[in-house]
């Protein structure tokens, strides 16, 4: 879906399709360079990271393998608690692997902080993080993120994988919702 398709639901477009695609290409070039000569496994966190995984993987000029995890953060309502449960684990053995976790957005950072430690405990050669979006003002834990698409303000956004009540994931841009949608 494009911005015209959901015009009535939008407050504003935060990052357009072109801005996102250009930035993903830049990140892919950095990743190609940084992992030159090494085997890389990219791990997408379901469901939000589907779009960024698909675009990032196709923008790379190197071979990578791809795997997926699904996790849920226990907590009240929309607040992440940092207590994480694995809903779907990786199919791959991580022993000796260079792993890049690919995420849609880092909000408090609690989920990813837990996930990074979990994957590192499996004997990886390295674990780094790539996220399409990050909200620096929402951070509750310090977390080292090697590749960041965009730092954005601390407000709720949808699109490009990000949902509100499971909707809006299939927007090709990222935007904020008009208050009438969630009030």
User: Which residues lie near ligand IMP (CB under 6 A)?
Assistant: 48, 73, 80, 103-112, 156-158, 162
Q: How far is the CB of 69 from ligand IMP (least distance, A)?
A: 12
Q: Which of 15, 31, 35, 48 binds Mg ion (CB under 5 A)?
A: 48
Q: Residue 110 touches which of ligand IMP, Mg ion, none (CB < 5 to 8 A by kind)?
A: ligand IMP
Nearest to 15 by CA among 115, 133, 116, 163: 133
Quick one: tokens of 16?
A: 């357009």
Span 84-143, contacts to Mg ion by CB under 5 A: 104
Q: Residue 108 touches which of Mg ion, ligand IMP, none (CB < 5 to 8 A by kind)?
A: ligand IMP
Q: Which of 24, 101 has the CB closer to ligand IMP?
A: 101
Asked if 107 is an active-site residue, the reply is: yes
Q: Residue 40 touches which of Mg ion, ligand IMP, none (CB < 5 to 8 A by kind)?
A: none
Q: Which of 79, 96 has the CB closer to ligand IMP?
A: 79
Q: Would you list the DSSP string of the chain?
A: --GGGGGGGEEEEEE-HHHHHHHHHHHHHHHHHHTTTS-EEEEEEETTTHHHHHHHHHH-SS--EEEEEEEEEE-STT---SEEEEEE--SS--TT-EEEEEEEEESSSHHHHHHHHHHHTTT-SEEEEEEEEE-GGG-SS----SEEEEE--SS--BBTTB-BTTBSTT-SSEEEEPHHHH-
Q: Residue 51 touches which of Mg ion, ligand IMP, none (CB < 5 to 8 A by kind)?
A: none
Task: Check 67, 93, 107, 151 and give the catalytic one.
Answer: 107
Q: Which of 55, 104 has the CB closer to Mg ion?
A: 104
Chain positions contacting Mg ion, by CB under 5 A = 48, 104
């Amino acid at each position: 879906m494009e911005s015209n398709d959901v015009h009535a639901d939008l407050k504003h477009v935060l990052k357009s399709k072109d801005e996102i695609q250009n930035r993903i290409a830049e990140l892919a070039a950095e990743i190609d360079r940084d992992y030159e000569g090494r085997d890389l496994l990219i791990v997408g966190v379901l469901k939000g990271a589907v779009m960024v995984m698909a675009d990032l993987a196709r923008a790379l000029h190197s071979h990578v393998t791809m795997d997926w995890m699904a996790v849920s953060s226990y907590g009240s309502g929309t607040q992440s608690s940092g207590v994480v449960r694995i809903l779907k684990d990786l199919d791959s053995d991580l022993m000796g692997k260079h792993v890049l976790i690919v995420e849609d957005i880092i909000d408090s950072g609690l989920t990813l902080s837990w996930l990074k430690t979990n994957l590192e405990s499996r004997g990886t050669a390295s674990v780094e993080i790539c996220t399409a979006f990050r909200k620096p003002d929402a951070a509750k834990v310090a977390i080292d993120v090697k590749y960041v698409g965009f730092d954005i303000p601390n407000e709720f956004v949808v699109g490009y994988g990000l949902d509100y009540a499971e909707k809006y994931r299939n927007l090709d841009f990222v935007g904020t919702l008009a208050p009438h949608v969630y009030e």
